[in-house]
């Protein structure tokens, strides 16, 4: 193999690809835009919609309560609720979003409370409908406060301290470090995205440099130059790998910036249960890249070899599109609760990288598995490169008619 020839081929492929609008879109534009749009755009939209829904005054139908002026007056005094007159079709009105909820006050509610008798209040709402759920929450909070108030009055009447209402408190304290919290919340998703983007980033250049060349008639031109087929395939492979890694680097950088922006501008309270709270160290990011590198090598070589079989770009697309599912399946499997990192799963390509990256993002480094998975991935990647070189030397593949 001649390093000079490999670099000449690589340089030319790089120049050629950088002038191709489609490569730039798949390698740079999409990875840079996807995450800000997804995280900031969607997050902003959801945030706006939620605050708007929360600020809305919910129309709630009051059923009964004519003989209980205290509770009805308290309900009517709520600023976030507008009480509407009763109607027998309340359920339909809730379903049709004409009102958000209905509350049923049993007869003689006020006097039953005075007697210390337990009563049942029904709140009707529409499960899954955000505005209806907010109205239900408002009513729940109101009745919980009203209940506490009633108990306090009864306790005071019997000269008992209000602390009887709450004999003890339960306080929850998190001991996991912030990266662990992030690791659990979104840890699985980051390596998953990196793996998928490595694949999609490699796909277009792999097709363009093989089936695309056949289609455009440049394959024969390059084959009659003195460059050896091994140098040719290695040069092309390095370009596909560059595209694959560049896509992953752009997307992860864009994802990190999106999360930082989201955290900064979306006023997420510290300790709140939000994905924007995750903190992943630079060490974790580099470690994930290190683990994904041999996988990216495997994808690049595999796609180059498969796309070479095709006679046209279109045919190559039909061969490579199903490969996305082959990669997504083991990557998704790493989310499943029963699938853990062990000696057996460490040898399954993609799944192993996905699992170990999840652990790394969560701050746990199983060095034995890391070494095993990296070595196994390197072996698979070498097989992929060898297959690509072998196919580039087969006339029936290069000149398939």
Partner 1 sequence: MIEALKLGKVFPGTKKRDKVLAVNDVSFRCEPGQIYGLLGANGAGKTTTLRILATILRPTSGTAVVAGYDVNREPAKVRAHVGFLSTATALYGRLTAQEMVEYFGRLYGLDEDRLHRDIDQIFTTLEMNDFRDRPCEKLSTGMKQKVSIARTLIHDPPVMIFDEPTVGLDVMTARTIVSFIRHCRERGKTVIFSTHVMSEVEKLCDRIGIIHTGRILAEGSLAELRERYREQDLEEIFVRVVGEGS
CB atoms within 10 A of CB 147: 13
Q: How far is the CB of 401 from partner 1 (least distance, A)?
A: 9
Tokens of 287: 């470690």
**1 binds partner 1, rule: CB under 8 A:** no
Among 3, 19, 170, 172, binds partner 1 (CB under 8 A): 19
Range 48-87, binding partner 1 (CB under 8 A): none
Give the C-alpha separation, 163 to 228, whole Å: 86
Closest distance to partner 1 from the beta carbon of 4 (Å): 8
The H or E element that residue 58 is part of is strand 58-64
At 313, list the tokens.
């770009």
Q: Please pick, from the candidates 78, 223, 268, 339, the single residue that binds partner 1 as defined by CB under 8 A.
A: 223
Indicate the burial class of 26 (C-beta count within 10 angstroms; 0-12, 13-18, 19 or more). buried
Nearer to partner 1 by Cβ, of 22 and 52: the residue is 22
Identify which range of 1-9, 196-204, 324-332, 375-383 contacts partner 1 by CB under 8 A.
Answer: 1-9
Applying CB under 8 A, does 12 fall inside the site for partner 1? Answer: yes
Tokens describing residue 48: 């706006």
Residue 212: name the closest of 45, 11, 7, 16 by CA: 16
335 binds partner 1 (CB under 8 A): no
Least CB distance to partner 1 at residue 15 (A):
7
| Shortest Å, Cβ 219 to partner 1 | 9
Q: Exactly one of 16, 47, 110, 137 binds partner 1 (CB under 8 A); which one?
A: 16
Residues 228-287 that bind partner 1 (CB under 8 A): 228
Contact 311, 400 (CB under 8 A): yes
- Token pair of 167, please? 């004999």
Shortest spacing between CB 247 and partner 1, in angstroms: 20
Provide, rounded to whole angstroms, the least separation between the CB of residue 314 and partner 1. 18
Question: At 228, is the secondary structure helix, strand, or coil?
Answer: coil
User: Which residue number, 11 or 264, has a Cβ lying nearer to partner 1?
Assistant: 11
Grouping H, G, I as helix, E, B as strand and the rest as coil, residue 83 is: strand
Among residues 167, 217, 322, 338, the one that binds partner 1 under rule CB under 8 A: 217
* Cα separation, 334 vs 373, whole angstroms: 14
CB of 385 to partner 1, least distance (A): 21
DSSP annotation of 66 reads: T
Within residues 369-398, the interface with partner 1 by CB under 8 A covers 395-396
Cα atoms in the 13 Å half-sphere on the side-chain side of 275: 16
Q: Does the protein bind partner 1 through residue 336 (CB under 8 A)?
A: no
Nearest approach, Cβ of residue 215 and partner 1 (Å): 10
Size of the site for partner 1 (CB under 8 A): 22
Q: What is the DSSP string of 145-196?
A: HHHHHHHHHHHHHTT--GGGG-S--------S-HHHHHHHHHTTHHHHHHHH
**Which span (220-228, 258-266, 306-314, 330-338) binds partner 1, by CB under 8 A?**
220-228
Per CB under 8 A, 224 contacts partner 1: yes
Which residues, other chains included, contact 269 with Cβ-Cβ below 8 Å and sequence gap of 6+? none
Instruction: Report the alpha-carbon distance of residue 301 to residue 88 in Å, rounded.
Output: 68
How far apart are CB 317 and partner 1 at their closest, in Å?
A: 20
CA atoms within 13 A on the CB side of 79: 2
20 binds partner 1 (CB under 8 A): yes
Q: Which two tokens stand for residue 272?
A: 């709140």
Tell the smallest beta-carbon distance from residue 207 to partner 1 (Å): 15
Cα–Cα distance list, 81 to 5, 124, 367 (Å): 76, 14, 58
Nearer to partner 1, 265 or 399 (CB): 399
Residue (of 139, 131, 125, 140) closest to 51 by Cα position = 131
- Which of 140, 221, 312, 321 binds partner 1 (CB under 8 A)? It is 221
Asked if residue 226 binds partner 1 (CB under 8 A), the reply is yes
- Name residues contacting partner 1, limited to 177-216 (CB under 8 A): 216
Residues at the site binding partner 1, with contacts judged by CB under 8 A: 5, 8-9, 12, 15-16, 19-20, 216-218, 220-221, 223-228, 395-396, 399
């Amino acid at each position: 193999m001649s390093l000079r020839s490999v670099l000449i081929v690589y340089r030319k492929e790089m120049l050629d690809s950088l002038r191709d609008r489609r490569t730039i879109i798949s390698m740079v534009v999409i990875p840079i835009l996807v995450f800000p749009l997804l995280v900031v755009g969607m997050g902003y939209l959801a945030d706006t919609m939620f605050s708007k829904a929360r600020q809305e005054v919910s129309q709630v139908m009051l059923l009964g309560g004519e003989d209980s002026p205290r509770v009805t007056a308290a309900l009517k005094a709520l600023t976030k609720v507008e009480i509407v007159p009763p109607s027998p079709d309340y359920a339909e009105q809730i379903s049709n979003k004409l009102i958000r909820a209905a509350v049923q006050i049993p007869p003689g509610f006020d006097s039953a409370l005075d007697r210390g008798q337990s009563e049942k209040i029904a709140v009707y709402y529409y499960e899954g409908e955000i505005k209806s759920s907010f109205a239900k929450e408002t009513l729940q909070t109101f009745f919980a406060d009203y209940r506490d108030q009633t108990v306090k009055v009864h306790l005071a009447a019997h000269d008992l301290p209000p602390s009887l209402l709450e004999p003890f408190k339960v306080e929850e304290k998190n001991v996991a470090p912030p990266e662990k919290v992030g690791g659990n919340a979104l840890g699985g998703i980051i390596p998953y995205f990196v793996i998928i983007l490595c694949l999609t980033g490699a796909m277009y250049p792999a097709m363009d440099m093989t089936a695309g060349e056949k289609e455009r008639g440049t394959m024969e031109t390059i084959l009659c130059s003195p460059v050896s087929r091994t140098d040719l395939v290695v040069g092309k492979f390095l370009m596909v790998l560059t595209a694959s890694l560049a896509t992953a680097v752009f997307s992860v950088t864009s994802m990190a910036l999106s999360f930082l922006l989201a955290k900064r501008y979306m006023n997420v309270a510290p300790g709140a249960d939000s994905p924007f709270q995750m903190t992943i160290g630079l060490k974790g990011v580099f470690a994930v890249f290190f683990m994904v590198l041999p996988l990216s090598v495997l994808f690049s070589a595999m796609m180059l070899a498969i796309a070479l079989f095709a006679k046209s770009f279109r045919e190559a697309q039909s061969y490579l599109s199903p490969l996305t599912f082959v990669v997504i399946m083991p990557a998704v499997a790493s989310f499943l609760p029963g699938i853990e990192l062990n000696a057996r799963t460490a040898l399954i390509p993609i799944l192993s990288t996905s699992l170990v990256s999840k652990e790394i993002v969560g701050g746990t480094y199983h060095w034995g598995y890391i070494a095993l998975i990296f070595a196994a991935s390197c072996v698979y990647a070498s097989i992929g490169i060898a297959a690509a070189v072998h196919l580039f030397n087969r006339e029936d593949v290069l000149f398939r008619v």
